[in-house]
Amino acid sequence: MNNTIIKLEHVSKEYHRGTETVHAVNDVSLSINKGEFVAILGHSGSGKTTLLNIIGCLDHPTSGDVEVNGIKISSSPEKELTILRKKTIGFVFQQFFLIPTLTVLQNVQLPALFASKADEGKAKELLTMVGLEKRLSHLPGQLSGGEMQRVAIARSLINDPPVLLADEPTGNLDSRNADNIMNLLSELNDKGITIVIVTHNHDLVKNCSRHVFMEDGKLKHES
Ligand SMILES: Nc1ncnc2c1ncn2[C@@H]1O[C@H](COP(=O)(O)OP(=O)(O)OP(=O)(O)O)[C@@H](O)[C@H]1O
Ligand SMILES: [Mg+2]
C-alpha cells in the first residue's frame, strides 16, 4: 500500500533580484507519509516558508515535481489545484489572518462558504474542540493571540483536510500559549491528520515524529 501523502522530487525555487539569483529552495526531495508530524527547522532565510508554500500549492516551484494526496501539482489544471487547496490542505500562519469584522463563528465558517455549504454545526464543533465554545460571537480583536490562533486552526479544519501545514504558528505567542497550540496540533495528529510545521523553536517540536533541517535552500539532515 502506498502510504505517501506528500512527495517532492528535486524541487527548486529561484527568485531573481536584479542580476542576483536566490536559490530559495535548492533541489529538495522529500516524502511524507500519512499520519506523520513533521517539523521543518532552519535559520531565517533558509527556505522553510518557500518550501511549505510549494507543498500547499500557494507557490509554484521553478522546477521539480510535487505530489499531494495523489495529485501531481505541476501537471494539474488550476481548477484541480483550487480543489486541492480547499479540500486537502489546511493552512495556519503566524499572523492568524482572521477577518476582523467577522465573528469567531463566521471566520471558521468562511472556507465552507466558498465551498457553498456554510456548516454552522461543524464550525461550532471545531470551536468546541479548540476550547472556544464560549467565544462564538466575539470579534477577533476581542481575543488573545492564543485564542486567535485556535480560531485559525478551527477554520483550517472546516473542510476536513487530511493535511495541515503550519508556518510558525506559535511565532506570535508566549511560551504557555505556544505549548497549548502544540498540544492541540498533537491531538489533531493523533486523530490522523498529517501535519507539517515550520518553526525556529527546537524545544517546541520535541514530540514531532520527524525533524527536517534546512540550510540555504537545501535539506541538510533529518532526525
Ligand atoms: N518573493 C521573493 N522574492 C525574492 N526573494 C525571496 C522571495 N521570497 C523569499 N525570498 C528569499 O528566499 C529565501 C528563503 O526565504 P523563506 O521566506 O523561504 O525563508 P524562511 O526559512 O521561511 O525564513 P524565516 O525563518 O525568516 O521565515 C530568502 O533568502 C528570501 O530572501
Ligand atoms: Mg518563513
Return the ligand 1 atom nearest residue 13 CA: 12
Mean pLDDT confidence for 16-33: 95
Query: Using 50, 70 and 90 to split pLDDT, how confident is the model at 117?
Result: low
Q: pLDDT higher for 222 or 28? A: 28
- Rounded to the nearest whole angstrom, what is the distance from the C-alpha of residue 128 to the centroid of ligand 2? 30
Q: Which amino acid is at 95?
A: Q
Pick from 71, 12, 47, 3: nearest CA to 217: 47
With residue 26 as reference, give the H or E element that holds it. strand 20-33
Beta bridge partners of 165: 91, 196
* Mean pLDDT across the chain: 92
Mean pLDDT for 27-51 is 96
Q: Is the pLDDT at 41 greater than 90, yes or no?
A: yes
Strands 218-222 and 210-215 turn out to be: antiparallel
User: What is the architecture, at CATH level 2, of domain 4-222?
Assistant: 3-Layer(aba) Sandwich (3.40)
Q: Is the CB of 24 under 6 A from ligand 1?
A: yes
- Is the pLDDT at 115 greater than 80? The verdict is no
- Which residues are placed with Cβ below 5 angstroms of ligand 2, an ion? 49
Mean pLDDT over 98-112 rounds to 93
DSSP characters for 48-97?
HHHHHHHHTTSS--SEEEEEETTEESTT--HHHHHHIIIIIEEEEETT--
Q: Mutate which of 26, 50, 219 to test ligand 1's pocket (most atoms within 8 Å of Cβ)?
A: 50
Report residue 94 as a C-alpha cell: 503566524
C-beta neighbour count of 75 within 10 angstroms: 9
Q: Does ligand 1 have an atom closer than 6 angstroms to the CB of 93?
A: no
Does residue 113 surpass a pLDDT of 90?
no
Q: Parse the chain into domains and list their residue ranges.
A: 4-222
Angle at 175 (CA atoms; ends 55, 133), nearest 5 degrees:
75
Asked if residue 28 has its Cβ within 6 Å of ligand 1, the reply is: no
- Mean pLDDT on 30-58: 96
DSSP state of 103: -
Would the CB of 15 count as within 6 Å of ligand 1? yes
Only one residue has cell 527556505, namely 47
Q: What is the pLDDT of residue 205?
A: 92
The three three-digit cell numbers of residue 24, written as one number:
530559495
Looking at residue 206, its pLDDT comes to 87
